[in-house]
Chains A and B, each alone.
Chain A
Amino acid sequence: MGFVEAVLLTIVTAATPLLLAAAGELVAERAGVLNLGLEGMMIMGAACGFAGAYATGSIMVGALCGIAAGAVLAAVFAALTLGLAANQVATGLALTIFGIGLAGVVGSPFVGERIVAAPHLSVPLLGDLPLIGGVVFGADAFVYLSVALVAGIAWFLARTRAGLVLRAIGENPTAAHALGLPVRRIRTLAVLFGGACAGLAGAYLPLAYTPFWVSGMTAGRGWIALALVVFASWRAGWLMLGAYLFGAITILQLHAQGAGVGIPPQLMTALPYLATVVVLVVVSRARGRDRRAQPQSLGLAFVPER
């Protein structure tokens, strides 16, 4: 595999956790729920995913543990914000603090341990195609899953009745409730789906990206994924572009550090975070004060009048 191919492959690998987490959050946000606890759900997914894979030796079990951990945390979030109409922003922050802490406790016995990372696909002949062969036919299973997931979500939101119901609830829950649509049930399902995706995204890190557990290993990816949803204007297709763009920034700064460019490594490490700020500004500016791209009830509590 050539150098360019290897770089492209690492970009895709770096982008995959962002894509998985952002895809789940997109569904929750289209239903009108802003779950800022993405970082907490991801890191719990990472800790539990590693624990599961370490205990059983199976990547699959690890991934399922990550999904379960993310969904459980999302259930707590749903109980508070949907059951008790608590403030979504504050509850999301609580979820992040709680998740980071609990992941540290869960992961503490595993510090310094290693597992065998998820294998990469190897398709004979096709995998040897120049430039794109390694990327398209030689990535790990999660990469393909993430792409399929985004395509599935795009289809679900735009082409199915259930997707239309979900979007209606996100735009105007009061009207949806008046039509007899189960607002809180759909929102709960959307939040749980978002949590499961975030858990899987977190589990991807120790299962495929770096095959060990470190405290705080998500390093703000949950927040970047949240920004990606804004960048994508709540459209699934644009998520791919955003995620791969951020994957590219992450990998290029790593290579620049490795090549010993005369720039302080801390500045290079700060690049994805600074890029997020810049991207948010540029996208928000282009959109102006037009708030139509955003689900109209995003972040607002809904209490049905009986």
Chain B
Amino acid sequence: MRLVLERRLAQHGLVALASPLLAVALTLATGAVLFAALGKPPLAALSIYFLDPLSDLWGLQEIAVKATPLVLIAIGLSFCYLANVWNIGAEGQFLFGALAGGGLAVATHGTGAGPWVLPAMLALGAIGGALYALVPALCKVRYGASEILTSLMLVYVADLLLDYLVRGPWRDPKGFNFPTTAEFDAVATMPLLAEGGRLHVGVLAAVLAVLTAALVVWRTRQGFAMRLAGAAPKAARFAGFSADALVIFTFAVSGALAGLAGIIEVTATVNHLQPNMSPGYGFTAIIVAFLGRLNPFGILVAAFVLALTFIGGEAAQITLKLPLDLTKVFQGILLFYILACDTLILYRIRLVQPAPDAISGMR
């Protein structure tokens, strides 16, 4: 018996929709096995992980808040991956955006600055993220250095830069030596959508990003260039689209969105800068982009699924005493299944008997 992949002549719309769902279902099944292996009741554990957060309004809002940075980052990454450009350093761009915008809050702290501070911080966050992403992009187009490795290396650098700033020059003098900046002033804080709730104005930015991305990808020349470069790089070159310009464009957009996600996260949920600010949003967003099949609306749905794993993981740590790292295990398994199921879209998988040799075939 041998496994053979046969390229499908036409791609089925239904299979394209079913493959992410199948991936999620397989992940849940694997999760049940994993819980059993760790000595926990599988069904109860799955329910704590994936159902309990959905059972009340507070949990749902919490998921939307966690999904916001994931949507923003994944939308940007989907631009890159559509064009076959590999930005995997969104985590670094997220952190750099957070500290570029957060720096203004630190600088204006206690000066009684007006309501211009928050919009300026958001702009600085996006610009900071974009500039940070342009480093690997320029290294790629100017010198041909692999953007995969350079963008990833800069994640460690951004992490250490943040660590240095909050332990050094930006540390709160009244903070009892804790490595954090002072709490941001009210003018540097993201307003809530409704009093007493958890949803903040930044959530709207994620929705806006989805709609804009849908327009750009399907209705503009730049979107066409991205999709063409990914699907058929040679055709894109003959059509006169510059591969270098696409690298710059997709990195700038994804960096800006990751930076925006970073500063939104800081101003809306933590309100100060501190080390280890992100639970790995930049990496999880890679999975979100693929689970959403690089489709803006798909990404919106996928972000909620992955946000659920963060919240479920925290709940499982408290109630089941399961290590928090289990969340990453689930995320990794999910991406494995997504990629495996994607093969179903492109190929028909068949098991064939080894071909009978010529002589036995003659009989």
Contact = CB atoms under 8 A, between A and B. Distances in A.
B60 interface: no
Given A90-B335, A223-B149, A289-B144, A264 B168 contact: yes
B347 A303 contact: yes
Contacts of A103: 325
A90 to B, nearest CB: 6
Contacts of B287: 94, 97
Interface in B236-259: none
Nearest to A102: B329
B323 A105 contact: yes
Nearest to A268: B160
B163 interface: yes
B340 interface: yes
A100 B327 CA distance: 11
B326 A101 contact: yes
B327 A280 contact: no
A160 interface: no
Interface stretch (A3-11, A76-84, A137-145): A76-84
Contact of B325 (A108, A230, A266): A108
A284 B144 contact: yes
Interface string B144-158: 111011101110110
A281 B164 contact: no
Contacts of B330: 101
Contact of A281 (B143, B152, B154): B143
A129 interface: no
A36 B148 contact: yes
Given A98-B328, A98-B336, A303-B7, A226 B149 contact: yes
B339 interface: yes
> DSSP majority for the B interface?
helix
Contacts of A96: 332
B81 to A, nearest CB: 8
B265 interface: no
A97 B149 contact: no
A105 B326 contact: yes
Interface string B338-363: 01101100110100000000000000
B328 A93 contact: no
A40 B154 CA distance: 18
B336 A94 contact: yes
A94 B86 CA distance: 14
A104 B325 contact: yes
B331 interface: yes
Contacts of A161: none
B331 A101 contact: yes
A105 B313 CA distance: 13
B143 A284 contact: yes
Counting chain B residues whose Cβ lies within 8 A of the other chain, the interface size class is 35 or more
A277 interface: yes
B14 interface: no
Interface in B1-43: 3-5, 7, 38
Contacts of B144: 284-285, 287-289
A223 B152 contact: yes
Contact of B163 (A104, A226, A266): A266
Contacts of B163: 266
Q: Which has the most chain A C-beta neighbours within 10 Å: B5, B145, B163, B330? A: B145
B134 interface: no
Nearest to B138: A281
Contacts of A102: 325, 328-329, 332
B339 A86 contact: yes
B186 interface: no
Contacts of A164: none
A17 B290 CA distance: 32
Contact of A215 (B86, B139, B325): B325
Contact of A98 (B160, B290, B332): B332
The 8 closest A-B pairs by CB, nearest first: A98-B332, A101-B328, A104-B325, A94-B335, A266-B164, A101-B329, A86-B339, A285-B143
Interface of B: 3-5, 7, 38, 86, 88, 135-136, 139, 142-146, 148-150, 152-154, 156-157, 160-161, 163-164, 167-168, 283, 286-287, 290, 323-333, 335-336, 339-340, 342-343, 346-347, 349
14 contacts: A84-B343, A85-B347, A86-B343, A94-B335, A101-B325, A230-B146, A230-B149, A264-B168, A274-B153, A280-B145, A280-B146, A281-B139, A285-B142, A288-B144
Given A40-B332, A94-B336, A101-B330, 6 more contacts: A89-B148, A91-B336, A91-B339, A215-B325, A223-B149, A280-B139
